[in-house]
Amino acid sequence: MPQAIGWDCGGSTPEKLDGYSNIGMLVLPETASFWLPDAQQRSGAISRLVQQAPGLTQNESVGVMLIPDSGQQKRNAIFIDINQHTVKPNKSLISLLDEKDEFSAIAREVLLKVPICKGRTALEATNVSARSGDLFTMNGLKDACRLLTQDYEGDRVKLAIQFWTACSKQHPEWKKAGRTKQIAELRNSSIAFNALTLNALGMVGARMLAENGDSTGLTNLSQINWSLDNPDWNGLIRFNGNIVKNSSTIRVLADYIWERL
């Protein structure tokens, strides 16, 4: 561990801690000033908490990094170093944690109450890796729930749970997923678990509800060849050998499924 480094901070006094040769305590005067390149909101919140409820913080500590102030140019460099490489949370993680978004909340309920989704949905990834035992992604499930329920004025959570439960019982590939441990092989040989398909099914469910008043009549899903090698996908959702997911391919796949129900 490097030796403790002290610097002049308007009367600061470094003090050694008993029993430690290379760790010390830096005591700073109340007149010392600090520049915060990051976490200003957290710092302000902690400051107010100390003032308003000191009893809650008397046994707490907060880790900080102190950097000697070398002027505005150095401050700018530190700010860039901290913020230019900031990693934003991905869409799945946002869907998992966002308490304000209604469709994220619906997806979380589906995740808990529809067996095929529970324990088989990637919660912190936007893509399922080739060897993963997951079937879906959280952001894919959220988007599908939005397409299913956004125009429904009733209990959207109940609708989503009923629809995805019906899918799991009537979709031939989804039923296989409940009986096999070879999840990766099953998923990689079919489009049945692709976010594109999940979104298209959500769109189909919404259309069924609007036109038939029911979204659970999905028996004919078994009549569709969900294999990745199905030539029907060429020019429909597969281009240059790759499955393409966008608003257009979601719509045309939904139409393809609808025509066969």
pLDDT by residue (tens digit) across 141-160?
999 999 999 999 999 999 99
Q: Whose CA is closest to 26, among 37, 35, 16, 34?
A: 16
Which of 87, 179, 192 is closest to 140 using CA atoms? 192
Q: Which residues pair with 24 in a beta bridge?
A: 16
Instruction: Give the pLDDT confidence of 105-142 residue by residue, as tens digits.
Output: 999 999 999 999 998 999 988 899 888 999 999 999 99
- Both tokens of 125, joined, read 């990834």
Q: In this structure, which amino acid lies at residue 237?
A: I
* pTM metric for this prediction: 0.69
